[in-house]
Amino acid sequence: MKTLFSRRNLLVGVGTAAVVAGVGYEATRVLRKRYAPSPYDDLLAKLDDRDGSAQIGEAVLAEVDDFDAKAVAAQLRAKLVQSSLADLATADAAAERLLEAHGWVLPQSLALLCALAAKAAA
């Protein structure tokens, strides 16, 4: 009885799939938006949408006086060693640590991350 997939066809198929996957991965890597290095890249990596976050961050910066990016980054790093961003943001809300951006009420840690994204994009 003739099999549906010969050994030869199977090898060709797997090889083709590998090539396509490799090309796709490389294309994504090449096409992914690149940012100029900033001192906050480790923190900004926690944001899903860095450009969008930077837009939010502009509004946050308009609300915060004397924004000290280095100090803010250091504080966030210290906190994010101990907990995830999700837990930290939730804890912010529970503890009334909030900031506003264009009227949006945000957890402080998220708002400050967005402000760093804005600084990095500047």
Partner 1 sequence: MSAFIDARTVPDGTVLEPDLAIVGGGPAGISIALALANTPLRVVLLESGGMSFDPATQALYNGAKSGVKYLGLEASRMRFLGGSTNIWGGWSRPMDKIDFEERSWMPHSGWPFGLDALAPHYARAQTLCEAGPWLYDKAEHWSQSEMPTVPLGAGGVATRWFQFSKMRGSLLPTHFGERYADDLKKVRNLTTYLHANVTRLGLAANGGKIEHLDVATLNGHRFSLKPKAVILAAGAVEIARLMLASNDVMSSGVGNANDVVGRYFADHPIPRDIGTVILFDGKLEPYYLTTQTMHGAILRAGLFPSEAYRRNKAMLDSSITIESKTLLDPLGKTTVATTAAALGVDASKAAAFTLGGGCEVTPDPDCRITLDSERDALGVPRIKLQMKLADSDLAHFRATLKELGRQLLASRAGMIRLNMKERGQWLTGLDWGNHHMGTARASNDPKKGVVDANLQVHGVANLFVVGSAVYPTYGAVNPTLSIVAMALRLADHVKGLLK
> Which residue in the set 43, 113, 118, 120 belongs to the binding site for partner 1 (CB under 8 A)?
113
Nearer to partner 1, 7 or 32 (CB): 32
Residue 62 sits in the site that holds partner 1 (CB under 8 A): no
CA atoms of 87 and 60, how far apart (whole Å):
21
109, 98 Cβ separation under 8 angstroms: no
CA–centroid distance for 43 within its chain: 8
For residue 45, the minimal CB distance to partner 1 (Å) is 13
Nearer to partner 1, 30 or 78 (CB): 78
For residue 111, the minimal CB distance to partner 1 (Å) is 9
CA atoms of 120 and 115, how far apart (whole Å):
9
For residue 19, the minimal CB distance to partner 1 (Å) is 33
Nearer to partner 1, 3 or 82 (CB): 82
Residue 118 sits in the site that holds partner 1 (CB under 8 A): no
CA atoms lying within 13 Å on the CB side of residue 80 = 21
Residue-wise DSSP of 24-64: HHHHHHHHS------TTHHHHTT-S-HHHHHHHHHHHHHH-
Binding residues for partner 1 (CB under 8 A): 46-49, 52-53, 55-56, 84-86, 89-90, 92-94, 96, 98, 100-107, 110, 113-114
